[in-house]
Amino acid sequence: MSQVLLVEDDPIVRTAYMKVLRTSGLDLQTAADGLEALEKVRGGGFDAVVSDINMPRLSGIEFLRALRELSLEVPVVLVTGGPALETAVRAVEYGAYRYLTKPVDIEALASTVRGAAEVGQKARERRGGGGPGPGAGPLTPSAEEIALAEGFDDSLAQLWMGFQPIVDYGRRALYGYEALVRSDGPFARPNEIIRAAERLGRLTDLGRAIRRRVAHHAAAAPFGLLFVNLHARDLDDPELTDPEAPLSRVARQVVLEITERTALEEVSDIRSRVERLREMGFKLAVDDLGAGYAGLASFASIEPDVVKLDMSLVRGVDVSPLKQSVVRSVVGLSEEVGIEVISEGIELPSERDTLALLGCRLFQGYLFGKPERGFVPPRL
């Protein structure tokens, strides 16, 4: 667990920040001013510091400057209620990790501090796990690490969800929508922000942000299911099975679609976790069936309610007898065990018509609608 020092002279604000950061899974110590904080940090062991700027005895900027003069390179997040250009310049000059202004968005604070702690922890591990005391060696994150973390934070702050329709073509009706992550930040594409989260060890931050945004939109969703992508490692996040979590409150509307199934083997006690999710009302799905061993192997551990045919089977199915044979077999198996099958990536009417003749009825793809910011009706 990451070790973080919180420096804040206002006891009310300090208590509020403590609650947010401890809920985020951080091991927290506190200091009431810069002098007290300086003594604690000298002892080593902290992965990050979050500090107010306007404090008695020693301001946040003076505290940061003292750290750097002592060669203490722990990442520092500065928070201020009175932003000024001169203060920001000095913060950058002394190597602040981030500079936040009050009132601080709670999610932004938690995400930024976790990111700083991750950078500090990795830096400590590189130099053998020693504390950040004088002479112990620099803990300064590389320019690449700082740029990646800042880009991820900016992308997370500008995250939005695109909703792509899934149709019951047999009935010419809407079946549901898949929520697909997008961002107006530096990492605009889903694979970019996911790769950044993996490299920074912040898949939990990303997963929570996605689930909260989907929950926010759930009330406006038309009748039908909401498919939410879930990285296999999200199954280890205690918030996922917290009945008070935003998405848990709309669990019966939601299908959790497991991605990165090769990581399932890293999840402890997966069967009980999956069972707990079902008890809460969630349904489970696996995607990309037909893409390889991971898709088939996941059946044994997840026993999904829904599977998605991989795009490689859907594209060109109208001209491939082999693909048609595979799809026919999957449809037959799904009917036998009571699993719904969704064919995704459909772009051509000929693909749609062939799949319908093979017994498929649930379709997703650009032929019916692209991911949009709102719940746009499908083309049927």
Can you give the CATH number for the domain in which 334 is found? 3.20.20.450
Based on the fold, state whether residues 163 and 257 are members of the same structural domain.
yes
In a domain, 79, yes or no: yes
Residue 62: give its domain's CATH number: 3.40.50.2300
Instruction: Look at 224 and 69; give whichever has higher pLDDT.
Output: 224
pLDDT tens, position by position, 177-207 = 999 999 999 998 888 998 888 888 788 889 9
Q: Which domain holds residue 83?
A: 3-141
pLDDT at 149: 85
Closest CA to 34 of 16, 19, 15, 53: 53
Whether residue 174 is found in the same domain as residue 47: no
**313-324 confidence digits (pLDDT tens):** 899 999 999 999
Residue 290 has pLDDT above 60, yes or no: no
Whether the pLDDT of residue 332 is over 80: the answer is yes
Residues 296 and 268 in one domain: yes
Looking at per-residue confidence, does 50 or 260 come out higher?
50
Query: Tell me, what's the pLDDT at 135?
Result: 39
**For position 134, what pLDDT does the model report?**
39
- Say yes or no: 321 and 355 in one domain: yes
Q: Mean pLDDT lowest for which of 113-117, 159-163, 358-362?
A: 113-117
Predicted pLDDT at 41: 84
> Does 329 score more than 80 pLDDT?
yes
Does residue 60 sit in the same domain as residue 104? yes
Structural domain includes residue 380: no
Does 163 share its domain with 128?
Answer: no
Q: Are residues 176 and 295 in the same domain?
A: yes
- Residue 75 domain flag: yes
Q: Do 160 and 258 fall into the same domain? A: yes
Q: What per-residue confidence (pLDDT) applies to 139? A: 45
- Higher-scoring residue by pLDDT: 380, 136: 380
For residues 129 and 139, is the Cβ–Cβ distance under 8 A?
Answer: no
Residues 119 and 161 in one domain: no
> Among 94, 112, 141, where does a domain finish?
141
> Per the domain annotation, does 370 fall within a domain?
no
Each residue of 222-274: pLDDT tens digit?
A: 888 999 999 888 888 889 999 999 999 999 999 999 875 555 666 777 888 89
- Together in a domain, 116 and 209: no
Whole-number Å distance between alpha carbons of 237 and 211: 12
pLDDT at 131 (0 to 100): 46
Give how far Cα 228 sits from Cα of 50, 255, 297, 301, Å.
33, 6, 21, 19
Listed residues 141, 170, 197: the one ending a domain: 141
Task: Tell the burial category of 143 from Cβ atoms under 10 Å away from its Cβ (0-12, 13-18, 19+).
Answer: exposed
Q: What is the pLDDT of residue 282?
A: 97
Most confident of 116-120, 261-265, 268-272, 305-309: 305-309
Domain count, the chain: 2
Top-confidence residue, 200 or 340: 340
349-374 residue pLDDT tens: 999 999 999 999 999 999 999 999 99
**C-alpha dihedral, 163 to 167 to 173 to 179, nearest 10°:** -20
Determine contact, residues 75/50, Cβ cutoff 8 Å.
no
In a domain, 31, yes or no: yes
Is residue 17 a part of any domain in this protein?
Answer: yes
CA distance 108 to 102: 11
DSSP state of 104: P
CB 201 within 8 A of CB 1: no
Does residue 96 sit in the same domain as residue 135?
A: yes
Rounded to the nearest integer, the mean pLDDT of the chain is 84
Task: Say if 125 falls within a structural domain.
Answer: yes
Q: Is the pLDDT of residue 34 over 50?
A: yes
Would you say residue 71 lies in a domain? yes
Contacts of 164 (CB under 8 A, 6+ apart): 177, 178, 180, 364, 369, 370, 371, 372
Give residue 258's identity as a one-letter amino acid code: I
Q: What pLDDT score does 66 carry?
A: 83
- In 3D space, the residue among 191, 165, 163, 190 whose CA is nearest the CA of residue 179 turns out to be 163
* Predicted confidence (pLDDT) per residue in 77-108, tens digit: 888 876 565 666 666 666 778 878 777 877 78
Residue ending a domain, choose from 89, 111, 141: 141
**Is the domain of 232 the same as that of 128?**
no
* Three-state secondary-structure class, residue 21: helix
